[in-house]
Structure 1
Amino acid sequence: MTSLVPRTPYTDDELQKLYPAGLELQLVQVLMRHGERTPVSARFQNAGLRPWWPYCSSVRQMHSAILAAAHTPPGTDHPFNTLEWKRRLETFGHNDEPVVARGPVDQLDDICDMGSLTDLGRQSTYKLGLRLRQLYVDRLGFIPPTITSADFLYLRSTPVPRALESLHQTFAALYPPSAREAGEDGRFPAPTILTRVPDDETLYPNDGNCRRFAALSRAFAQRAADRWNKTPDMEYLTNLYSKWMPADTKVAVDSRPRLSGIMDTVNATLAHGPETKLPSVFYDEKARAIMEKIAVEEWFAGFKESKEYRMLGIGGLLGDVVGRMVGSVEQQTSRDASHTLLKRTGQENYSGRIRFGLSGCHDTTLAGVLASLGAYETNRWPPFTSHIALELFREATVTPPQAEPVKSSWWASMFGAAVAPINVGRRPTTELTAGEKGKLDGYYVRIRYNDEPVTVPACKLPGNHLEGDESFCTLAAFKSVVDKFTPTDWKQQCRMNRDQPALPGNSEWAGH
Structure 2
Amino acid sequence: MTTLQPRSPYSDAELAALYPPTLELQRVQILLRHGERTPVNARFKNTGLPVHWPYCEAARNFRYVILSADRSWDTLHWKRRLETFGPNDAPALAAGPNGEVDSVCQPGELTDRGRETTLALGQRTRNLYVDQLGFLPASLDAASSHTIYLRSTPIQRALESTQQAFTGLYPPASRAPDLQPPSIVTRSFQDETLYPNEGACKRFAQLSAAFAERTAELWNDSPELAYVNKKIGKWMPKESPIVKVDSHPRLSGIMDTINATLAHGPATKLPSEFYNKQVVANIDRICTEEWFVGYQESNEYRKLGIGGAVGDITQRMVEHVSGKAGSGSDAGGDFKLSLSGCHDTTLAATLTALGAFNALSDKWPNYTSSIAFELFRRKDRPATPVTSSTGAIWPSKEQTWWSSLFSSSSSPPTTSPSARTPIHDMSTSERGRLDDYFVRLRYNDRPLTLPFCQQAGRHLEGDEGLCTLAAFKEAADSFTPKNWKAECSMNLGEPGLRPVVERPPGL
TM-score by length of 1: 0.91
Q: RMSD value over aligned CA atoms?
A: 1.9
**Equivalent residue number for residue 478 of structure 1:** 472
SS in 2 for 1:275: helix
Verify: 1:156 aligned to 2:156, yes or no: no
Show the 5 A alignment for 1:15-34: 15-34=15-34
C-alpha separation in 2, matches of 1:319 and 1:271: 33
After the TM superposition, which of the residue ranges 38-47 and 152-161 deviates more from structure 2? 152-161
Within the candidate set 237, 252, 269, 2:261 is matched to: 269
Shift of 1:387: 0.4
Within the candidate set 238, 245, 253, 2:236 is matched to: 245
Show the 5 A alignment for 1:326-405: 326-331=318-323, 342=327, 348-350=329-331, 353-377=334-358, 378-401=361-384
Tell me the percent identity: 52
SS in 2 for 1:151: helix
C-alpha separation in 2, matches of 1:404 and 1:171: 26
Shift of 1:423: 4.0
Any conservation in 2 of the 1:308–1:485 contact (CA below 8 Å)? Answer: yes
| Partner AA of 2:139 in structure 1 | T
For this pair of structures, how many residues does the alignment match?
A: 480
Within the candidate set 116, 129, 138, 2:131 is matched to: 138
Shift of 1:441: 0.4
Gaps of 5+ in 1: 73-78, 406-415
| Partner AA of 2:227 in structure 1 | Y
Shift of 1:380: 0.7
**Equivalent residue number for residue 75 of structure 1:** none
C-alpha separation in 1, matches of 2:336 and 2:258: 38
After the TM superposition, which of the residue ranges 207-216 and 240-249 deviates more from structure 2? 240-249
Gaps of 5+ in 2: 389-409
Any conservation in 1 of the 2:28–2:374 contact (CA below 8 Å)? Answer: yes
Shift of 1:422: 5.5
Larger Rg: 1
Cα deviation code 1:149-194 (max 9, x no counterpart) = 4322220111111111111111011001111113xxxx22111100
**Equivalent residue number for residue 117 of structure 2:** 124
| Partner AA of 1:34 in structure 2 | H
Shift of 1:402: 5.6
Any conservation in 2 of the 1:331–1:352 contact (CA below 8 Å)? Answer: no
TM-score by length of 2: 0.91
Within the candidate set 282, 291, 295, 1:303 is matched to: 295
SS in 2 for 1:32: strand
Any conservation in 2 of the 1:327–1:352 contact (CA below 8 Å)? Answer: no
Any conservation in 2 of the 1:241–1:282 contact (CA below 8 Å)? Answer: yes
Any conservation in 1 of the 2:234–2:241 contact (CA below 8 Å)? Answer: no
Shift of 1:94: 2.2
Shift of 1:96: 2.2
C-alpha separation in 1, matches of 2:254 and 2:504: 29
Show the 5 A alignment for 1:75-94: 79-94=72-87
**Equivalent residue number for residue 68 of structure 1:** 68
Structure 1 runs (4+) deviating above 3 angstroms are: 347-352, 400-405, 416-423
Verify: 1:442 aligned to 2:425, yes or no: no
Within the candidate set 220, 223, 229, 1:229 is matched to: 220
Any conservation in 1 of the 2:319–2:416 contact (CA below 8 Å)? Answer: no
SS in 2 for 1:233: helix
Cα deviation code 1:206-246 (max 9, x no counterpart) = 00110000000000101100000011001000111111002
C-alpha separation in 2, matches of 1:84 and 1:351: 31
Any conservation in 2 of the 1:328–1:352 contact (CA below 8 Å)? Answer: no
C-alpha separation in 1, matches of 2:412 and 2:371: 39
